[in-house]
Amino acid sequence: MSGKTLIGVMSEIPVISFSLRLLLFSFFCCMFSLHTFSQSKSTPSLTRILFLLDGSSSMAESWSNTSKIEAARKIISRIADSLDTSFSIQLGLRIYGHQFSSTEMNCTDTRLEVPFATHNSEGIKNALKALHPQGITPIAYSLEQCARDFPTDLRARNVIVIVTDGEESCSGDPCEISLMLQQKRIFLRPFIIGLNLNPDAAQKMQCIGNYFNATNPEVLRNLMTTVINRVLSSSVVQVNLLDNQNRPLETDVNMTFYDHATGTYRYNFYHTITNRGVADTMQLDPVLQYDLTIHTTPPLERKQLNFPAHQVDTVNIPASQGYLKIVLQGKMINKNLNDKIKVLLRRAGSEETIQVQNLQETVKYLSGKYDLEVLTLPRMQIKNVAVTQSATTTIEIPLPGILSITKTFPGIGSIMLIENNSEEKIYQLNENLNSELLGLQPGNYAIIFRSKFSKKTVDSITRKFQIKNGESTSVKL
Amino acid sequence: MTERIRVIIHFALKTFWNLLLFIPALAILYSSYFIVPASAQTTRILFVLDASGSMKGEWNGTSKFELAKNILNNTIDSVSRTNQKVEFALRVFGHQSPRASLNCKDTRLEAAFAKGNAAAIAQRLKAVHPQGQTPIEFTLLQSLDDFPEDSQSTNAIILITDGSETCGGNLCDLTRKFEEKKIALRPFIVGLGLSDSLKKKFECLGSFYDVQDEDALSTTMKIVISRVLNPTTCQFNLLDAYGNPNETNVEITLYDHVTKDIRYSFIHTLNAKGIPDTLTLDQRFVYDLEVHSIPEVVKEKIQLVPGIHNVIPAEVPMGSLEIRLEASTGNFTGISCIVRKATEKEILFVQDVNSSLRYITGAYDLEMLTLPRTIIKNVLIQEAKITSIKIPRAGTLLLTPSEAGIASIFLFREKVMEKVYELSSIKTQKSVSLQPGNYLVVFRGDRFRQAERTKQISVEILSGKTSSIRL
């Protein structure tokens, strides 16, 4: 929405841009809730940002013309100041490795220095001033402790920004803890800013969340601004559903965005083409990584999509679709029998049923080949039916004949299909009924029937009959 | 014998009665086939006698040929006296050319089938002297033409021989040749003191009996004749999970193993004593049994031992699956339930909801074509028990659009949104039958060209109730 223009000026006048951005952010929140009343329920009114800062001994090392801790202190203080007037943003500060000397190897050295509150930039600045780096780097343990820092409030967006200059120095696995806490919905996908980490250490940080490497204090400042910028803006996403000629013309289908870490549903939109003839953009929370499902039949999926907020992110997805219509050749008089005939659809060669289609219905499918199993009596297989871009493929099912069975005495038995010199049971007569009406596909059949009470095999009778398209046949037993 | 005739009359009457009753009533093709005892009609027995040189060999001072000849004469004589329905014929091989001439086509029908030809056969036999080769395969192939065309008769071949094929024929291959020609004929073979390796070859061909002396030959001939003349009966023991023959009331098809034709189909029945009913089947055929349980149970190559009561077991342990729609009246629901064997993808059977069917015991996966589909995995069917599955009645979702638009109905299945129903266009009120549960209706008016104008409304559907929402 507004991300692009603001980011450009960010490095020169970050503080001003923050205030401006904040204004726009609140404005956008209003607009957002106005537009989509149902979606806005998942757009929280409160954003909490916890800075998790490295206070280990190495942070005291000099970095360009300053020290690492000084660079971090400066930018965090500045951000705290710029956000201080907001009622919709709360900040918190947790530091690790600062209470005990590194020689003590204290793996539980972490402390929430400033709990969440609005207008607490003074508290944060003071805590940063008092900080003397000295200890080790228990990232996993600290991250775990963060869970308690966030008040339980499902309406808030909980964001964590980790600033560290070293990898985990205790036994914990920060990636595992991060994922677990995301799944418990404690916080959204964390941001990690490494202070000049070597590639090996950086690699290990990637799985905690969104990782950035700051090579010098200047880059740190820019990165931190970008991250906060992103947290407070929204991603603008355009999904292009491509037809068979790669034109973004497919539309009017639901799209669901899931949070990848938790697997939970976040947004659902109908894909829409605007009056300008392009796919409409959507605004999403920029902190998350998404799994996208396009509810075509069968559905399309894209996993782990990242939408950094500084441009319109376009996702191109081939979604060529056509129509399939299944009809009877002729008209069946009996509606009940007609309605009972369902068609199971599977991707050609696959076993999974993706749709159950009714007769006379037209359904839109992804272009491709499908296998149909028609639940007539007996069942009918139609393989390799092609659905092609924008065209309607029509499949005609031979009109069943109608078999009317009258029983003059209570009995048991079945209808057998006689085909290739063998008998296959396709329907068992209902012994509680005196008469039954069935739709049967054209072919040769036999009913084997015997009185319920008979004690002799020879009382079995076999009646052979033929069923023709659309014709009625009666059998009296 | 009288008992058998009575049964035949019963059958005939029954067939006639059924035909009479139904043919005029209905304009469609009917044919009823019954289990007709094969031995009801003429029985034709062809003796094929070995007159090769080796038959001159002696047993206790009498030549094997002489012994065989006497027993043949006695047998034909005594059977003809008591049974008017039996006809005999005689084919001899190896008697026309000396062994040295290596005549492998030395076979001749000495007496053709006819009534009261015992004396004629005896007369012909007097003139036969053993001397030549043993062309068994060629002889048996020729003998097939000795039987007159009569689809109702019971045909039997009794081969009496003391030696192995000497003309390169292969007895096991011969069986295959018979099968290829779709001839259902398994000869009885009476071997006169044969070696073990020979016995095996003859067992391949038919029912083999080995005799070592005159007494045994006489006794064996009696047994063989009784096998031919006595009814061949059988019962199918459909075994439950405990191995007891209690399963019944299921359709059975018996196919001819050789020609694959359907020979009999009937419903398995327990008789008044509660044991599987005795059936008289045509003994000439080898059968493939198909029990039409769900899934079917097939047993191939069932060979009836002629002249005795055969018990044929098949494991068909069954239990019932009852699927009911809650709070429904009447039988018709229009809802089908797809039944698969657990973990298998292929459809086994489609059962109507509000019906009960028996299945072979085991685990099954059910998929009911409700909206959305109701899937129940691993439903256990147990011996003689009824497994009852109830599915709730659908509720109704009434959608009232405030403007023309597009709508879809979703269900959350383990956090994942699953499309249940799609309305590519909705202008007026529309009702959809849905299984009870929480749904999300997604709607966008046609006039809106922004994705963010997508509306979402949660709705709960209760069984048998209508939930209304305005879009």
What is the predicted pLDDT for the residue at A67? 93
Per residue in B433-469, pLDDT (tens digit) is: 999 999 999 999 999 999 989 999 999 999 999 999 9
CB pairs under 8 A between A and B: 197
Q: What is the mean pLDDT of residues B6-17?
A: 45
* Average pLDDT over all residues of chain A: 87
Residue type at position B365: D
Residue A259 sits at φ, ψ, to 5 deg, of: -70, 120
Assign B155 to helix, strand or coil: strand
Question: Comparing A137-151, A218-232, B188-202, B371-385, which segment has the lowest mean pLDDT?
Answer: B188-202
- Chain A residue at shortest CA distance from B293: A425
What is the predicted pLDDT for the residue at B147? 86
The larger pLDDT score, comparing residue A338 to residue A344, is at A344
Per residue in A57-97, pLDDT (tens digit) is: 999 999 999 999 999 999 999 999 999 988 889 999 999 99
- Measure the CA–CA gap between B266 and A449, rounded to whole angstroms: 8
What is the predicted pLDDT for the residue at B28? 31
Contact assignment for B455 to A35 by CB distance below 8 Å: no
Q: Residues with Cβ < 8 Å from B2, sequence gap 6 or more?
A: none
What is the predicted pLDDT for the residue at A34? 32
At B180, the pLDDT band (50, 70, 90 cuts) reads low
Q: What is the mean pLDDT of residues A248-271?
A: 92
Residue A347 sits at φ, ψ, to 5 deg, of: -60, 140
The larger pLDDT score, comparing residue B163 to residue A375, is at A375
Per residue in B214-231, pLDDT (tens digit) is: 888 889 988 888 888 887
Helix residue ranges, H only, B182-316: 196-205, 214-229
Question: Comparing A296-310, A414-428, B325-339, which segment has the lowest mean pLDDT?
Answer: B325-339
Question: Comparing A38-52, A247-261, A266-280, which segment has the lowest mean pLDDT?
Answer: A38-52
Q: State the smallest CA–CA distance between residue A151 and chain B in angstroms.
A: 24
At B325, the pLDDT band (50, 70, 90 cuts) reads very high
- Chain A residue at shortest CA distance from B261: A421
> Burial, B99: exposed, middle or buried (Cβ in 10 Å; 0-12, 13-18, 19+)?
middle
Q: State the smallest CA–CA distance between residue A370 and chain B in angstroms.
A: 16
pLDDT of A3 higher than 60: no
The larger pLDDT score, comparing residue B15 to residue B309, is at B309
pLDDT of B12 higher than 80: no
pLDDT of A162 higher than 80: yes
Percentage of chain B lying above the pLDDT 70 cut: 90
* Average pLDDT over all residues of chain B: 85
pLDDT of A284 higher than 60: yes
What is the predicted pLDDT for the residue at A302? 95
pLDDT of A30 higher than 60: no
User: DSSP class of residue B274?
Assistant: S
What is the predicted pLDDT for the residue at B37? 44
Quote the crossing angle between the two packed helices B136-143 and B171-180, to the nearest 10°: 20
B267 vs A339, A450, A464: nearest CB: A450
pLDDT of B16 higher than 60: no
Residue type at position A1: M
The larger pLDDT score, comparing residue B7 to residue B281, is at B281
- Residue B419: its chain A contacts at CB < 8 A? 254, 295, 297, 299
Contact assignment for B260 to A364 by CB distance below 8 Å: no
- Count of C-beta atoms within a 10 Å radius of residue A49: 24
Q: In Å, what is the CA distance from B119 to each residue of A415, B48, B78, B115?
A: 55, 17, 12, 11
Q: What is the mean pLDDT of residues A266-282?
A: 93
What is the predicted pLDDT for the residue at A44? 55
At A11, the pLDDT band (50, 70, 90 cuts) reads very low
The larger pLDDT score, comparing residue A396 to residue B226, is at A396
- Chain A residue at shortest CA distance from B345: A351
Q: What is the mean pLDDT of residues A309-334?
A: 88
Contact assignment for A433 to B30 by CB distance below 8 Å: no
- Residue A280: its chain B contacts at CB < 8 A? 449-452
Percentage of chain A lying above the pLDDT 70 cut: 91
- Chain A residue at shortest CA distance from B250: A413
> Which among A333, A349, A336, A255 has a CA at the least distance from the CA of A293?
A255
What is the predicted pLDDT for the residue at B181? 66
What is the predicted pLDDT for the residue at A336? 81
CA atoms within 13 A on the CB side of B231: 20
What is the predicted pLDDT for the residue at A33? 34
Contact assignment for B265 to A416 by CB distance below 8 Å: yes
pLDDT of B317 higher than 90: yes
Per residue in B34-84, pLDDT (tens digit) is: 444 444 578 889 999 999 888 888 888 888 899 899 999 999 998 888 888
Per residue in A430-473, pLDDT (tens digit) is: 888 889 999 999 999 999 999 988 998 888 999 999 999 888 99
- Residue A32: its chain B contacts at CB < 8 A? 452
